[in-house]
């Protein structure tokens, strides 16, 4: 019984979501192997080999995988899938693009965004924007699973698994990589940050949002937003948290001017400590907040910014 994990990486650094997916795979009770497909990906493969619980790393180093084009990576997985009882990937944009293709060719149902493993065949996953937790049982055949990374702790380093050089799979020739525009930020990556401060429509103005950014920098926090804040142009789409955005599970989540629609709550409710600041005392966000402050946002943001400066945060 063996599980295969599709690693996410940039050829040099292994994504935190991979270590979290390995934790989930180990709960299946199977031996775990990690597939690292890239171009010049030796460092990422070596990093995967050091994660506890990994039995082997398959390194596929070929220009075909310089960028994770879904059709090519799916064809690679399918070329070796018969050796595995389960194939798992993080429930990120990459995993969500690749694994459905694998499941379709294998003619098995994909089990999406699991948050808990009850046994080797039974899983929990959120539905209806996280308001309901569904229990699903996998049928016979290869299990194809995407894992919500925020639901599992990252597996620690401490192993020295063998790295097995593996040949590239077939090139379907259906799509090709043209280019990408990568956003640059000195702030932590949103989905793995320990502290997240998020803006909602209630922030209202660019001046207030600029103060919020200063606070985030002082706290070394990632910056998120509700869909409403994105829609009015306060920040970019890649900051959106919620059902149609990113999912976070930070140690500290500060919601500023966010009312707390269920679509947003589904993306941040697993955070350990939730702080809400809103001028509407009846805002739904207060129902899940550990700490709440009812106040006008502009003076509160200014006061927080000044207090952090007084305490030496820069």
**CA 21 – CA 150 distance, rounded (Å):** 10
For residue 181, the model assigns a pLDDT of 74
Which residue, among 250, 244, 296, 245, has the nearest Cα to 269 in the 3D structure? 250
Instruction: State the fold for domain 190-310.
Output: Rossmann fold (3.40.50)
pLDDT digits (tens), the chain, 314 positions: 799 999 999 999 999 999 999 999 999 998 999 999 999 999 999 999 999 999 999 999 999 999 989 999 999 999 999 999 999 999 998 999 999 999 999 999 999 999 999 999 999 999 887 778 999 999 989 999 999 998 999 999 988 999 999 999 999 998 888 987 766 678 888 988 999 999 999 998 999 999 999 999 999 999 999 999 999 999 999 899 998 899 898 999 999 999 999 999 999 998 999 999 999 999 999 999 999 999 999 999 999 999 999 999 98
**CA 255 – CA 275 distance, rounded (Å):** 6
**CA 43 – CA 51 distance, rounded (Å):** 13
Q: Both tokens of residue 271?
A: 């955070």
Direct distance between the N- and C-terminal alpha carbons of the chain, in angstroms, rounded to an integer: 52
Instruction: State the fold for domain 2-165.
Output: Rossmann fold (3.40.50)
CB 148, CB 19: distance < 8 Å: no
Which residue, among 32, 31, 43, 22, has the nearest Cα to 156 in the 3D structure? 22
Q: What angle do CA 241, 245, 249 make, to 5 degrees?
A: 45
SS3 256: strand
Give backbone dihedrals phi and psi of 15, rounded to 5 degrees, phi first: -70, 145
CB 120, CB 99: distance < 8 Å: no
Q: How far is CA 274 from the centre of its chain?
A: 19
Which residue, among 27, 21, 30, 66, has the nearest Cα to 48 in the 3D structure? 21
Q: Residues of CATH 3.40.50.1220 domain(s) within the chain?
A: 190-310
* β-sheet bridge partners, residue 54: 32
10 Å CB burial of residue 167 (0-12, 13-18, 19+) is exposed
pTM above 0.85, yes or no: no
For residue 89, the model assigns a pLDDT of 98
Q: Where are the alpha helices (DSSP H) in 197-292?
A: 206-219, 227-231, 262-265
Q: Residues of CATH 3.40.50.620 domain(s) within the chain?
A: 2-165
Which residue, among 194, 204, 192, has the nearest Cα to 228 in the 3D structure? 204
10 Å CB burial of residue 116 (0-12, 13-18, 19+) is middle
CB 256, CB 202: distance < 8 Å: yes
10 Å CB burial of residue 123 (0-12, 13-18, 19+) is buried
């Amino acid at each position: 019984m063996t599980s295969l994990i599709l690693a996410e990486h940039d050829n040099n650094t292994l994504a935190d979501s991979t270590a979290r997916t390995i934790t989930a795979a180990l709960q299946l009770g199977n031996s775990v192997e990690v597939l690292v497909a890239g171009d010049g990906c030796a460092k990422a493969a070596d990093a995967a080999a050091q994660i506890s619980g990994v039995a082997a790393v398959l390194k596929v180093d070929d220009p075909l995988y310089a960028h994770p084009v879904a059709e090519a990576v799916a064809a690679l997985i399918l070329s070796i899938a018969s050796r595995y009882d389960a194939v798992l990937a993080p429930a990120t944009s990459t995993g969500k693009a690749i694994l459905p293709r694998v499941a379709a060719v294998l003619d098995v149902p994909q089990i999406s965004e699991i948050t808990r493993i009850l046994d080797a065949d039974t899983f929990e996953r959120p539905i209806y924007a996280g308001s309901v937790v569904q229990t699903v049982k996998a049928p016979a055949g290869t299990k194809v699973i995407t894992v919500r990374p925020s639901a599992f702790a990252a597996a620690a380093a401490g192993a020295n698994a063998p790295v097995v050089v593996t040949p590239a799979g077939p090139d379907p020739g259906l799509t090709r990589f043209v280019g990408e525009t990568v956003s640059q930020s000195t702030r932590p990556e949103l989905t793995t940050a320990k502290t997240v401060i998020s803006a909602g429509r209630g922030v209202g103005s660019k001046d207030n949002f600029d103060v919020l950014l200063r606070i985030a920098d002082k706290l070394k926090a990632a910056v998120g937003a509700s869909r409403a804040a994105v829609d009015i142009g306060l920040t970019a789409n890649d900051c959106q948290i919620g059902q149609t955005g990113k999912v976070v599970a930070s140690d500290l989540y500060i919601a500023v001017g966010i009312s707390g629609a269920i679509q947003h709550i589904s993306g941040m409710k697993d955070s350990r400590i939730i702080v809400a600041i809103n001028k509407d005392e009846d805002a739904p966000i207060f129902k899940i907040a550990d700490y709440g402050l009812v106040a006008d946002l502009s003076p509160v943001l200014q006061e927080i910014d000044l207090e952090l400066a007084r305490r030496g945060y820069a």
